[in-house]
Structure 1
Amino acid sequence: MRRRLGSVRARATLNATLVVAVALVAAGTAVLLALRANLIDQADVRAENLARKVALDLAFGVPAAELDLPDAGDSPVQVRNSRGRVVAADDDVESMSPVPTGSGRADGTAATGDDEGDDHGGDRDRDDDRDRDDDTPAVGEISGDARIIQGAATVDGHTGDYRIAEIDVTTSRNVTLTVYAGASLSAEEGAVGTVQTAMLIGLPLLLVTVGCATYVVTRRALRPVEGIRAEMAAITASEDLSRRVPEPGTHDEIARLARTTNETLAALEASVERQRRFVADASHELRSPIASLRTQLEVGAAHPELLDVEGAVEDTVRLQRLAADLLLLARLDAGERPQDARFDLAKLVREEAGGRDRVHLDGVESVEVAGSRGQLVRVLANLLDNAERHARDRVDVALRTEGAWVVLGVADDGSGVPAAERERIFERFVRLDESRSRDDGGAGLGLAIARDIAVRHGGTLRVGEAPQGGALFELRVPTAP
């Protein structure tokens, strides 16, 4: 169960169902409250209209005993005097709440002939009416505002909830009465109950529908993701980086994920291929000096007089340089960051070019850069070695600033580099003249190392055509901040 809930489809279905459930409960509650409020307002209007009608009849002189009262089933009416005694009511009305405490009869029975005497000049009631407050209506008038009360009434033995309107009226005989008219809330309760029942039945069905629909839609939407996952698992199992994940024909996030995954696989394949080629080339380059050195040592061991010590030393030095280049490339590939040191690049150029006869300096003035002094010395040495190897007569070294950049140019008057090969020469173990002996040339790592160091210093290394027709290498690194 936990594994199922851990899937994206299950979580999406659960979350969508929960969101819809919360929204429906909130909306249903709002609808029920609004419906209840509307129905109560309608009941208030009915009760007030009925109370006003009865009060107007009393104000116009209709005796309480002769009032035309409606059927008490849904609209019970009681008329009470100032002492709370019922002077008029339908026979079916047994009680209406609230009933003032200490008020004569509270059983709701209709007035008798003696009660009617309150309308025939009852001096006691009129004396009490003289003590009424300022809110008591004038003779022949009713109160302006009706008081709405939430109460209960018992009609024909059945007690129910009612909205009760209370209006004061002063008859033409200067008798103050209070009319109580009720409007039943049974219709409101029935309507609210019906809506509530429908919601309780419909909500689970709707949630089940939403959950099923979300699960199906999510499954279809995530089908390409499953295809990507399955293909990645197959690639991992087979270790075949030439395979690619399927790309859907849509333009959504999943399609972009598939394209990015394929781009990553392509970059990984190129990296692995480059690593394999590097290992193969390194093994090939190492085999030659090691074999030569071994041969010389074996010959020297058998015939000491034939030992070529100078050649053995040269092979050892060449092997040492190749091993150092390979170690430096390994550190650069591992992401080794250059040291954050400040030094004068012009001084470094003068020191490195000082012992070279064919190297001429032009405009080499003081300029500070930040980075690894040793690595930039290696770049300059590789560029000067490469230029001297291909130059006929001279090598020109220029140093200048361009805004926030320091530009170091190394130009020779040799045959130059063809435009089609100007990027290839920065690849590892690449020598344009493959027929040249390895003793005359390097292992094809110098320019690759120089560019890697330049990039890690936030700069660039490019080759173009020199004014003398040879090759012009330009190193750009940022000035020290």
Structure 2
Amino acid sequence: MRRLFGSVRARATLAATVVVAVALVAAGAAVLLSLRSNLIDEAGTQAERAARNVAADLSGGTPYTGLELDDDEPVQVVDGDGRLVAATEHLERISGTGVTEVQPQPSAGGTGGAGATPGTGGTGDSKDSGDSGDAEDSDDDTQGDDAAGDDRSALEPGEIADDVRLTAGSATIDGKSADYRFAAVEVEVPDKGTLTVYAGASLDPEQSAVDTAQTVMLVGFPLLLGVVAAVTWLVTRRALRPVEGIRAEMAAITASEDLARRVPVPDTHDEVARLARTTNETLAALETSVERQRRFVADASHELRSPIASLRTQLEVAAAHPELLDLDGAVEDTVRLQHLAADLLLLARLDAGERVTDARIELGALVRERAAGRAGVTVRADAVEVTGSRGQLERVLDNLLDNARRHARSEVAVTVRRDGDRRAVVEVADDGDGVPPEDRERIFERFVRLDEARARDDGGAGLGLAIARDVAARHGGTLTVRAASAGGALFELRLPLA
């Protein structure tokens, strides 16, 4: 299980399914509640319509026995004394109207009013009218509807009240029980007083519709969730297929150690394509770094081989023939080995990302110090301060001065100045042959020497300018070369001011 949900595709499918399920449950509940409310309102409208039809018949003088009451829906007519004076035939039980009687009761006077028949409870005398008023007050108290009582007292003969009271209840007609929505409408009938008509509309259609909708949802929602899960699974599988291709290729590259290989880039413009391009750029940078490291090791081995071989030869000759020992040559080879080892060690530290110190250095004074005692070197330096490693900056200046002195015909000019408020500039110019434009970047590569005809002992190992540029970059600066005004080369070192 943990392995299954460790998959991005599985988690995406689960998340999408859960989100859709929550949305469906919320939407389904809202639909059911809305459907139920609308159907209940519709039932209330039907009940009110039935009640007003009966009230209209009563206001028109129709006697109780002449009322056309629906045999399938419960109807009650109650007089002002709370007596049931008319009801649906075969009504066996009723609740929710406030009047539980199901059979009409005889009136107190034993005779009905206009249109009434004996035993139906119609009232026509003033006493009954007075009792009707008392019943109205009593009914208002029991029902708690002051507005209806106010409307009853304001009704004119033959008038039907505008207000309607809606209640929920149940009834049993001819042995069939059901839930109903009841509407109560009052009507003022001459010689009968204020009558209240209760009419009900069955809630069975509402319950049936809600049950059907609920059943459809219970069946349809799981099917819909299954479709969502399947579609999400397939879509994410298709979307992640390039990622699997990238992973497989990276695994193959790791196994083969062939950094020349590249991962496939999908023909899209999405995040996966950008990931593939970035991965290929990383592989290219890694390949360049490894190749540079290999060349560095090979070149270092080659550069070390010559002085070591020379020194060994001199020592072997001296061992066999002490009188032939070239002591100066042995010392020179030893010094050259020492310098080369120091250069290699510094490059290794730079490649490892050695942190640059934050010491404040007065650059003009440092240049004058490193140029002192060098023949043919003139210095014009302003006082500018930079931050960094004093030892590494000394190495940069020494390498630039040695390089310039090696190629100059007669003199080397060094200038230190401020360039605005952000940069300090050191310019080292010679009057030699200069550097061809096509080689002005190549000379900063490691172990590169342009003058192949020059004896190797007359120059360095080709690391000085590479070290100088690396140190400048570590200090947030740059080192470039261009033609000097005197015709030679001008090296420009730019460093941030302190």
The TM-score with structure 2 as length reference comes to: 0.91
Q: What is the deviation of 1:286?
A: 1.1
Quick one: distance in 2 between partners of 1:112 and 1:94?
A: 18
Quick one: distance in 2 between partners of 1:6 and 1:109?
A: 73
Match of 1:91 in 2: 89
Q: How does 1:330-479 map to 2 (within 5 A)?
A: 330-362=348-380, 364-403=381-420, 404-479=422-497
Letter matched to residue 5 of structure 1: F
2:479 and 2:492 in contact (8 A); partners too: yes
SS in 1 for 2:69: coil
Q: How does 1:3-14 map to 2 (within 5 A)?
A: 3-14=3-14
Structure 2 gap ranges (5+): 113-119, 138-148
Q: What is the deviation of 1:123?
A: 5.2
Quick one: distance in 2 between partners of 1:60 and 1:468?
A: 127
Q: How does 1:51-450 map to 2 (within 5 A)?
A: 51-71=51-71, 73=72, 75-100=73-98, 106-112=100-106, 114=110, 116=112, 118-121=121-124, 125-131=128-134, 132=137, 133-137=149-153, 138-140=155-157, 141-173=159-191, 175-362=193-380, 364-403=381-420, 404-450=422-468
Quick one: distance in 2 between partners of 1:355 and 1:85?
A: 133
Cα separation, partners in 2 of 1:69 and 1:419, compared to 1, 3 Å = same
Q: What is the deviation of 1:299?
A: 2.3
The TM-score with structure 1 as length reference comes to: 0.94
Match of 1:33 in 2: 33
1:60 and 1:172 in contact (8 A); partners too: no
1:359 and 1:394 in contact (8 A); partners too: yes
SS in 1 for 2:456: coil
1:459 and 1:477 in contact (8 A); partners too: yes
Q: What is the deviation of 1:223?
A: 1.5
SS in 2 for 1:119: coil
Quick one: distance in 1 between partners of 2:397 and 2:265?
A: 46
Q: What is the deviation of 1:122?
A: 5.3
Letter matched to residue 438 of structure 1: R
SS in 2 for 1:142: coil
Once the two structures are aligned, what percentage of the paired residues are identical? Answer: 66
Cα separation, partners in 2 of 1:312 and 1:125, compared to 1, 3 Å = farther
1:363-383 Cα offsets, whole Å, 9 max, x none, are x11111111111111111110
Q: What is the deviation of 1:254?
A: 1.5
Q: What is the deviation of 1:115?
A: 8.0
Structure 1 gap ranges (5+): none
1:64-116 Cα offsets, whole Å, 9 max, x none, are 33222123x2x32111123432111111222322253xx7xx33123457484
Quick one: distance in 2 between partners of 1:433 and 1:322?
A: 19
2:184 and 2:199 in contact (8 A); partners too: yes
Q: What is the deviation of 1:179?
A: 1.2
Letter matched to residue 375 of structure 1: Q
Quick one: distance in 2 between partners of 1:251 and 1:351?
A: 58
SS in 2 for 1:191: helix
Quick one: distance in 1 between partners of 2:296 and 2:188?
A: 113
Q: What is the deviation of 1:170?
A: 2.3
Cα separation, partners in 2 of 1:129 and 1:120, compared to 1, 3 Å = closer
Quick one: distance in 2 between partners of 1:405 and 1:34?
A: 74
2:97 and 2:182 in contact (8 A); partners too: no
2:85 and 2:122 in contact (8 A); partners too: no
Deviates more, 1:272-281 or 1:309-318: 309-318
1:90 and 1:110 in contact (8 A); partners too: no
Quick one: distance in 2 between partners of 1:257 and 1:397?
A: 48
1:410 and 1:473 in contact (8 A); partners too: yes
1:5-62 Cα offsets, whole Å, 9 max, x none, are 2112222222222222222222212211111111111111111111122223223332
SS in 2 for 1:2: coil
Q: What is the deviation of 1:344?
A: 0.8
Q: What is the deviation of 1:256?
A: 1.5
CA RMSD of aligned residues (A): 1.8
Match of 2:17 in 1: 17
2:362 and 2:384 in contact (8 A); partners too: yes
Q: What is the deviation of 1:395?
A: 0.6
